[in-house]
Amino acid sequence: MPAEKTAIQPTRSKDFPEWYQQVIKAADLAETSETRGCMVIKPWGYGIWELIQQALDRRFKETGHQNAYFPLLIPLSYLEKEAEHAEGFATECAVVTHHRLEAVKDESTGKTKMIPTGELAEPYVIRPTSETIIGVAFARWIESYRDLPLLINQWANVMRWEMRPRLFLRTAEFLWQEGHTAHETREEALEETRRMHGVYEDFLRDHLAIPVIAGEKTENERFPGAESTLTVEAMVQDCKAIQAGTSHYLAQNFSKAQDISFTGRDGTVQHAHTTSWGVSTRLIGTLIMAHSDDDGLVLPPRVAPRQIVILPVTPKEESRAAVLAACDSLAEALRAQLYHGEPLRVQIDSRDLGGGIKKWEWIKKGVPLRVEIGPRDVESGKVCVQRRDRPSAEKEFMDASAFAASAPEMLTGIHGALLERAAAFRDANITPCDSADAFERHWRQDQPGWLLTAWDGTPEQEQELSKTHRITIRCIPLDASAIPCAAQVGNACFLTGRDTPRRVLWGRSY
């Protein structure tokens, strides 16, 4: 039988990495920049990021955080104060060493070259993360326990020199938010770490329709300089893991290095307990890989720049005015409806293009609901409705007013269907494992998925298994019992044979 025709070639099953690139291209989300390792985020892709940003920003402010902005360039000496942290990013750092360019004519070619001159007294690192420079500011701002807690967030770009870039998932420059907080006690800082971890878990479920496993990183996988790192791990459709967000308890490691100290309630000088937490434009790559299909992008409604697109069908010029009037009327009725407290985002696509071209463009862009209105629909008072979470040929004819009234409920249904589908896929691809032989066999598969095991091995044994099989412990789940196959995992560590209550998830990742 001939292969099924799809809008995206190759399909997910044939070449997942190339399929991912083609979905981004077809949806017009982003493109590779002339600057090595960097990307240009195009309006549709940036619209998704703006909606992510706005929703998270509301949540941060509801939890008492304020936005601020700190320098892009970090003096090298600041990083040297926290050696363990700096070493973790050292190979990814881009360094600025000069402050001036001079035009010099090449006598052999006659061309003018720009030569860096004016060497800086101290090099600057383009921020790979901002703990060090924000810590210096915190040291100035905090004097007494009355100044605590200090709850700050920054929306910014960062640079980590990436050798193998992939749009949204790994680029040299990317956008993110980084929260940084200082607290009077260890308990308060740990509570903050857990609170923001929960914010990320809820956001991915409620806005991106992505179910995640919430857990803690092992010692080998912690953020450099952290005492504890909490993570939310998402499974995408090639069964690999994506670290979708992290929250770190930094203890007093940074505050001692940067003298973030305060006069305590008993009059003694103490060092603050600090946290940091963040998510990035990697979330866009995660939702692409989690939900999209072989016809293109599939967007959860809450982060869709347009939730509903109305397509006028005007085969004859004499019917055009009536069709457009019906489209305007429907759009007005839809915009009067609220979805999660906000007016529906509706667009009428009246461009002078063929109906099939427009339809497939919006399919590939992932718009949750498409509505077609033609002359016969105007006469009957009906509209043709198509959902992006269902096959592209599936359609439903509805009374126009009934559709306008039920559109928010339909969007809720789309979100729920995407979340349920992703959760079912993830749970079907987590396998229990109780023996070293089964562990070895599992990683020989093409798309092995994740393994759930009991684990009582050492960091060195973990590192050796990671190197051998190109895997990592994605997390120690906070609630392993919520994973459907957990009951099939015994108490004995598959490697050492020792009894342990600890369960870990292993997987390959991006």
Q: Give the pLDDT confidence score for residue 84 in this predicted structure.
A: 67
Asked if residue 81 has pLDDT above 90, the reply is no
Q: Is residue 119 part of a domain?
A: no
Asked if residue 330 has pLDDT above 80, the reply is yes
Are 494 and 228 within 8 A, CB to CB?
no
Q: Pairing state of beta strands 112-126 and 150-159?
A: unpaired
Q: Pairing state of beta strands 73-75 and 112-126?
A: antiparallel
Q: Is residue 206 part of a domain?
A: yes
d(CA 255, CA 224): 15
217 and 276 in a single domain? The answer is: yes
Q: Is residue 377 part of a domain?
A: yes
d(CA 235, CA 426): 6
Backbone phi, then psi, for 119, in 5-degree steps? -65, 135
Residues linked to residue 215 through DSSP beta bridges, in sequence order: 231, 477
324 and 286 in a single domain? The answer is: no
For residue range 230-257, list pLDDT tens digits in order: 999 999 999 999 999 999 999 999 999 9
Q: Is residue 102 part of a domain?
A: no
Between 400-428 and 282-291, two packed helices, what is the crossing angle to 10 degrees? 90
253 and 159 in a single domain? The answer is: yes
Q: Give the pLDDT confidence score for residue 85 in this predicted structure.
A: 67
327 and 179 in a single domain? The answer is: no
Q: Is residue 99 part of a domain?
A: no
21 and 144 in a single domain? The answer is: yes
Q: Is residue 392 part of a domain?
A: yes
> Exposure of 214 by Cβ count < 10 A (0-12 exposed, 13-18 middle, 19+ buried)?
buried
Mean of per-residue pLDDT scores for the chain? 95
Backbone phi, then psi, for 178, in 5-degree steps? -135, 120
For residue range 24-33, list pLDDT tens digits in order: 999 999 999 9
CB within 8 A of 447, min separation 6: which ones? Answer: 238, 239
For the chain, helix, strand, coil in percent to 5 are 40, 30, 35
Q: Is residue 217 part of a domain?
A: yes
**DSSP-derived 3-state class of residue 82:** coil
For residue range 261-306, list pLDDT tens digits in order: 999 999 999 999 999 999 999 999 999 999 999 999 999 999 999 9
Residues linked to residue 10 through DSSP beta bridges, in sequence order: none
Of 291, 320, 354, which one is at a domain's C-terminal end? Answer: 291
397 and 316 in a single domain? The answer is: yes
Lowest mean pLDDT among 51-55, 114-118, 351-355, 394-398: 351-355
Number of domains forming the structure of the chain: 3
Are 472 and 221 within 8 A, CB to CB?
yes
Are 365 and 303 within 8 A, CB to CB?
no
243 and 360 in a single domain? The answer is: no
Of 363, 381, 410, which one is at a domain's C-terminal end? Answer: 410
142 and 63 in a single domain? The answer is: yes
Q: Give the pLDDT confidence score for residue 89 in this predicted structure.
A: 75
Q: In this structure, what CATH number is given to the domain that contains residue 358?
A: 3.40.50.800
Band of pLDDT at residue 498, cut at 50, 70 and 90: very high
Are 16 and 238 within 8 A, CB to CB?
yes
Average pLDDT on 115-122 reads 94
For residue range 86-98, list pLDDT tens digits in order: 777 788 999 999 9
Band of pLDDT at residue 1, cut at 50, 70 and 90: very low
Nearest to 102 by CA among 117, 80, 92: 117
Which H/E stretch holds residue 148?
none
For residue range 334-381, list pLDDT tens digits in order: 999 999 999 999 999 999 888 899 999 999 999 999 999 999 999 999
Give the domain extent around 206: 16-93+128-291
Of 259, 291, 323, which one is at a domain's C-terminal end? Answer: 291
Distances (CA, A) of 229 to 225, 314, 476, 506: 10, 57, 11, 17
Asked if residue 140 has pLDDT above 60, the reply is yes
Q: Is residue 2 part of a domain?
A: no
- Walk across the sheet containing 228-235 and list its strands: 66-67, 150-159, 173-183, 273-280, 241-251, 228-235, 213-216, 472-477, 503-507, 450-454, 430-433
d(CA 31, CA 117): 33
163 and 285 in a single domain? The answer is: yes
268 and 361 in a single domain? The answer is: no
Asked if residue 35 has pLDDT above 70, the reply is yes
Average pLDDT on 153-172 reads 94
% of the chain beyond a pLDDT of 70: 98
Q: Which residue type sits at 22?
A: Q
Are 210 and 217 within 8 A, CB to CB?
no
66 and 161 in a single domain? The answer is: yes
86 and 193 in a single domain? The answer is: yes
